[in-house]
Amino acid sequence: MTELSKQDALVHYAAQIGDNGLIIGHRMAEWCFRAPSIEMEMALMNCALDMIGQSRELYSYAAEAEGAGKTEDDFAYRRDEKDFRNNLLTEVPNGDWGDTIVRLFFMSAYNKLFYAALAGSSDSQLAAIGAKSLKEVTYHLRFSSEWLIRLGDGTEESHERAQKSVDSLWTYTGELFTMTDAENRLLKDGISVDVAALKADWNEIIEQVLKQATLTVPADGWAQTGGKAEGIHTEYFGYIIADMQYMQRRYPGCEW
Amino acid sequence: MTEQAKEQEWPLWEVFIRSKAGLDHKHCGSVHASDSEMAMEAARDVYTRRSEGISIWVVPSNAITASKPEDKESLFEPADDKIYRHPTFYDIPKGAGKM
């Protein structure tokens, strides 16, 4: 196998981080008009817009690094399922409020460590995106942690359901700490984040919050993977891009 | 709304926001939340989306004792004809110079 060029790896890497933000942002945005209260709706939409904003910056940078005249929209609206390299955790359905909170919590804990590390990237554009995003995801982590603590340490029913959410989403968390070829290629230049090395700190955040929430941390077992490394998604993914890309597919190049 | 549904509702909190250093916190609205920490986050998410604030206070609405609208005449109107309570009522003696 020939090694990826640095440029290809950088395009791939920026887009891959952007995919996480776009897909989880889209999922969160599905709560619009459906959240339990106006306060929660605005909280989720704020998080969603933060994450979609992060993906826009990353896609723009991927387009620039590629130098083929593409824009952020080409990455979001004109790629197929296989081209998206998000973690599977970001694409599974919202489920109930507990599932949504647990997913956001797992992802925000990861994002906080990830963007803090990315802020130290030798690539100045990625470092700037990391520093800006870190402030946003720090709040996402605070919001989702406080909610999870109240669900876990709330009523008998909320405890039981929160534990179920934790258990069922756990299998998607292992993929967060796997390394792709692009990540490995950029690691030696100090551009990418060594995500495998984030696992211990991530566990610490998870354990601390789940303990406060009186919830049990599941044992690591077999992990669902394939989205990030190969673009092999869950059966839910096609519906996301069908929904998201409809306008650009039906009216190519449309603007408003 | 049934009595039971009312009991299950989150309490109401009044939100006060300071827009910049040196200014007072100003009342800007209210949120429903289960406790003060959640009220703080709800206030942040609802009322500071457009850079409105640098500091937030949340206060349980039921901790506020408010004057009654029907007491308006007896509470506030008696002050209306006491114009001597305003400094502008008084002439300043020439010898005092500018104040």
pLDDT-above-90 percentage for chain A: 96
Whether A223 is in a domain gets the answer: yes
**Tokens 């039906």 found at:** A250
Spatial distance between the Cα atoms of A89 and A171, rounded to a whole number of angstroms = 9
pLDDT in tens, A205-238: 999 999 999 999 999 999 999 999 999 999 999 9
Q: Name the closest residue on chain A to residue B37, using Cα atoms.
A: A146
CA-wise closest residue to B25 among B41, B47, B42, B49: B47
Mean pLDDT of A41-66: 97
For chain A, what is the domain count? 1
Residue from A214, A95, A104 nearest A160 by CA: A214
Q: Which of residues 174-233 of A touch B (CB under 8 A)?
A: none
Nearest CA among A88, A86, A23 for reference residue A223: A88
Q: Is residue A154 part of a domain?
A: yes
Could you tell me what percent of chain A has a pLDDT over 70? 99
CATH number, domain of A75, equals 1.20.1260.10
**Residues in chain B closer than 8 A to A43 (CB atoms):** 41-42, 45
Q: Testing the interface with B: which of A39, A44, A97, A140 to mutate, by most B Cβ within 10 A?
A: A39
CA distance A228 to B33: 37
Which structural domain, as residue segments, surrounds residue A201? 6-250
Mean pLDDT throughout A100-109? 98
Instruction: Taking residues A3-17, report their average pLDDT.
Output: 95
Cα gap A165→B38, rounded to integer Å? 21
Domain for residue A256, yes or no?
no
Q: What is the mean pLDDT of residues A46-61?
A: 98
pLDDT of A57 higher than 60: yes
Mean pLDDT of all residues in B50-79: 95
Q: Which of A45, A22, A43, A20 is nearest to A32 (CA)?
A: A45
Mean pLDDT value across residues B20-42 = 96
pLDDT digits (tens, 9 = 90+) for A233-244: 999 999 999 999
3-class DSSP string for chain A? CCCCCHHHHHHHHHHHHHHHHHHHHHHHHCCCCCCCCHHHHHHHHHHHHHHHHHHHHHHHHHHHHHCCCCCHHHHHHCCCHHHCCCCHHHCCCCCCHHHHHHHHHHHHHHHHHHHHHHCCCCCHHHHHHHHHHHHHHHHHHHHHHHHHHHHHCCCHHHHHHHHHHHHHHHCCCHHHHCCCHHHHHHHCCCCCCCHHHHHHHHHHHHHHHHHHCCCCCCCCCCCCCCHHHHCCCCCCHHHHHHHHHHHHHHCCCCCC
What pLDDT does residue A142 have?
A: 98
pLDDT band at A2 (very low <50, low <70, confident <90, very high): low
Instruction: Please give, rounded to a whole number of angstroms, the shortest distance from the CA of B45 to a CA of chain A.
Output: 5
Question: How many of the other CB atoms lie within 10 Å of CB of B74?
Answer: 8
Band of the pLDDT at B94, cuts 50, 70, 90?
confident
Is the predicted pLDDT of residue A26 greater than 80, yes or no?
Answer: yes
Locate A49 and state its tokens.
């817009």
d(CA A14, CA B44): 30
Q: How far is A176 from chain B (nearest CA, A)?
A: 27
Beta carbons of A140 and A115 less than 8 angstroms apart: no
Of A46, A146, A147, the CB nearest to B45: A46
Q: CA-to-CA distance for B49 and A49, rounded, in angstroms? A: 11
Which of A219-254 are b and which e, b meaning 16 or more Cβ less than 10 Å from the residue's Cβ?
eeeeebbebbbebebbeebeebbeebeeeeeeeeee
The pLDDT of residue B95: 87
The yes-or-no verdict on residue A89 having pLDDT over 60 is yes
A117 lies in some domain: yes
Residue B38: which of A42, A139, A146 has the nearest Cβ? A146
Q: Give the pLDDT confidence score for residue A104 in this predicted structure.
A: 98
- Out of B32, B37, B41, whose CB is closest to A43? B41
At residue A173, the pLDDT reads: 98
In a domain, A95, yes or no: yes
Residue A1 covered by a domain: no
Given CB atoms, is A157 within the 8 Å cutoff of chain B?
no
Mean pLDDT (chain A) is: 96
pLDDT tens column, A63-85: 999 999 999 999 999 999 999 99
Q: Is the pLDDT of residue B2 over 90?
A: no
Q: Give the count of beta carbons closer than 10 Å to the beta carbon of residue B73.
A: 8
Characterize the bridge pairing of strands B55-60 and B25-32. Answer: unpaired
**Residue B19 corresponds to which amino acid?**
S
ipTM of the complex: 0.86
- Residue A190, in any domain of the structure: yes
Judged by DSSP in three states, A144 sits in helix
Task: Judge whether residue B9 has pLDDT over 90.
Answer: no
Query: Letter for the amino acid at A27?
Result: R
Residue B6 pLDDT: 64
In a domain, A113, yes or no: yes
pLDDT attached to residue B1: 55
